Amino acid sequence: MKNNAYVAVENQPSKRGSAETKPLSKITILVTVICWLTIFIEGYDLVVYGAVLPSLMDPSEWGLSATQAGAMGSYALLGMFVGSSVGGVLSDKFGRKLVLLLSLVLLSIMMMLSALANSPESFAVFRFIAGLGIGGIVPAASALTTEYSPAKYRSLVYVLMYTGFAFGGVAAAVSGMLFIAPFGWRFLFWLGTIPVLIVPFAMKYLPESIKFLQASNQQSKAQKLMEKHQLAEEAAGEEEVAGKSNSLVSIFSKKYLTSTLLFSFIYILAFLLIYGMNTWLPKIMQQAGYPMKSSLAFLLIFNLAAIFGGIIAGAAADRIRPKKVICFTYFLAALSIALLSIKFNIVIMYLLIAVAGFGTTGTTFVLASYVMKHYNSQNRATAIGISSAIGRFGAVAGPILVGIILSMGVGFQFNFYLFAIIAVIASVVILFVPTNQSNQQS
């Protein structure tokens, strides 16, 4: 697939050869920052439930059992499944910008209602609807970032944008350490409403996808946008294989069917790892004998490592075939997670948690970038939306499976064994994704 990024020009359109060597333009930075902020709240929403879970299981609050807590953790993820299923299709049909901002508003409202919930049942309903918003954010933000990134830096820019996910997780873990004791768990959900403040700014400054405007016969709007931001199409000769076809049908065509199925399966494994560990890690480490603050520190390190590991892996994926990078990092995650079943001294445990965060959440940044580059400009939002939506089955299953294992009383080690096996499978499956002959980086 030829690249379709846009770069800023000064007096005249850039040639393809020089475009790839230009520094990042102002519009690339603007789009990346806004999308980073939207992904930040996704990460915050994921980890905040894990941070408050021990409180919700406390008899002085709702006294949830492990099975109940696992099921409740899956409600938001079930909402993400539904949201991702339609979010990519809607963003390809109605525009990335509209879907992104409406999803962010919906998520923020549900955060507020979650803070006000007076029963586990109402809390579960609000969490499910919040998941719908998160599901709509991901494909729209992914498509915008990819389309406005120059080809040379596309993987790195995408990974930098998606570090918002891990930064959101870090913010949730730090908030739990600082605010749960003095203010209670509800305060963390009030904090989760703050990102809605970026909506007016994004409405004014976030541009729509030029490829979307062109594909939807809005040529005049596309031209005005290109002139306003001094953009030049870097790959004017790109084959528009799906410009007028249904993007949902195209990702299941003969050309993409195997890739779509394999990417979807890998996302199931990836989300089972990420959501299972982020939901239950503090409670598992509590069961292993660590105090509450130390357990939240594990969650903090897990997400911090994902930030730096994801950036390193993203830079490597711009130089090495992404599937090799993904294979290696998942295997590294499997090894470190398996070793977590042994209680070493605290420094070694922190190191293993860091490697696990890098190899799970950090690898998913590169995986998403790989998916976006594997498809063309007309169906990539649908591809990432559908594959990640199918992956939500793993997200839903992760918290439930861990809850069941914990309720069986077989020991915290068995959860780590489960996660390690899943990471090994992901490491192997990625190697079977067929190489896209039009994409040299596949």
51 in any annotated domain: yes
What are the helix (H) ranges across 184-244? 186-191, 199-205, 210-215, 219-228
Cα–Cα separations (whole angstroms), residue 44 to 51, 73, 157, 188, 298 = 10, 14, 21, 10, 16
Token pair 């980073």 is at which residue? 36
Q: What is the CATH number of the domain that holds 354?
A: 1.20.1250.20
pLDDT computed for residue 128 by the predictor: 92
Within 10 angstroms of residue 76's Cβ, the number of other Cβ atoms is 30
439 in any annotated domain: no
First CA to last CA distance, the chain: 10
pLDDT computed for residue 54 by the predictor: 87
- Considering only residues 436 and 408, tell me which one the structure prediction assigns the higher pLDDT: 408
pLDDT computed for residue 212 by the predictor: 80
pLDDT band, residue 200 (cuts 50/70/90):
very high
Dihedral angle over CA of 337, 347, 185, 283, nearest 10 = 40
- Tell me how far apart the alpha carbons of residues 145 and 381 are, in angstroms, rounded to a whole number: 11
pLDDT tens column, 287-329: 888 877 777 888 899 988 988 887 787 777 777 788 888 999 9
pLDDT tens column, 53-103: 989 998 889 999 888 888 888 888 888 878 877 777 787 788 889 999 999
Per the CB < 8 A criterion, the answer to whether 307 and 170 are in contact is: yes
pLDDT band, residue 52 (cuts 50/70/90):
very high
Angle between helical axes of 413-429 and 380-408 (0-180°, round to 10): 150
pLDDT computed for residue 17 by the predictor: 42
182 in any annotated domain: yes
pLDDT tens column, 152-194: 777 678 778 888 888 998 999 999 999 998 999 999 999 999 8
Q: How many whole angstroms from its chain centre is CA 207?
A: 21
pLDDT beyond 80 at 232: no
- Tell me how far apart the alpha carbons of residues 117 and 325 are, in angstroms, rounded to a whole number: 43
pLDDT beyond 70 at 231: no
Domain enclosing residue 375, as ranges: 6-432
Angle between helical axes of 257-287 and 380-408 (0-180°, round to 10): 30
Domain count within the chain: 1
% of residues, the chain, pLDDT over 70: 88
* Among 290, 36, 2, CA closest to 144: 36
Per the CB < 8 A criterion, the answer to whether 41 and 195 are in contact is: yes
1 in any annotated domain: no
pLDDT band, residue 230 (cuts 50/70/90):
low
Dihedral angle over CA of 2, 270, 180, 284, nearest 10 = -160
pLDDT band, residue 149 (cuts 50/70/90):
confident
- Give the dihedral sign, CA 246/249/251/253: negative
pLDDT band, residue 240 (cuts 50/70/90):
very low
327 in any annotated domain: yes
pLDDT computed for residue 430 by the predictor: 95
pLDDT tens column, 26-38: 888 999 999 999 9
pLDDT beyond 90 at 110: yes
- Tell me how far apart the alpha carbons of residues 19 and 365 are, in angstroms, rounded to a whole number: 25
- Considering only residues 105 and 246, tell me which one the structure prediction assigns the higher pLDDT: 105
The three-class DSSP label of residue 428 is helix
- Tell me how far apart the alpha carbons of residues 26 and 197 are, in angstroms, rounded to a whole number: 22
Cα–Cα separations (whole angstroms), residue 409 to 55, 65, 276, 383, 421 = 20, 12, 17, 40, 20
438 in any annotated domain: no
- Tell me how far apart the alpha carbons of residues 399 and 198 are, in angstroms, rounded to a whole number: 31
437 in any annotated domain: no
Span 406-412, average pLDDT: 81
pLDDT computed for residue 166 by the predictor: 82
Task: Tell me which DSSP letter residue 7 carries.
Answer: E
Task: Tell me which DSSP letter residue 345 carries.
Answer: -
pLDDT beyond 70 at 245: no
DSSP of 101-119, one letter per residue?
Answer: HHHHHHHHHHHHHHHH--S
442 in any annotated domain: no
- When the pLDDT of each residue in the chain is averaged and rounded to a whole number, the result is 82
Where is mean pLDDT largest: 140-144, 257-261, 411-415? 257-261
pLDDT beyond 60 at 281: yes
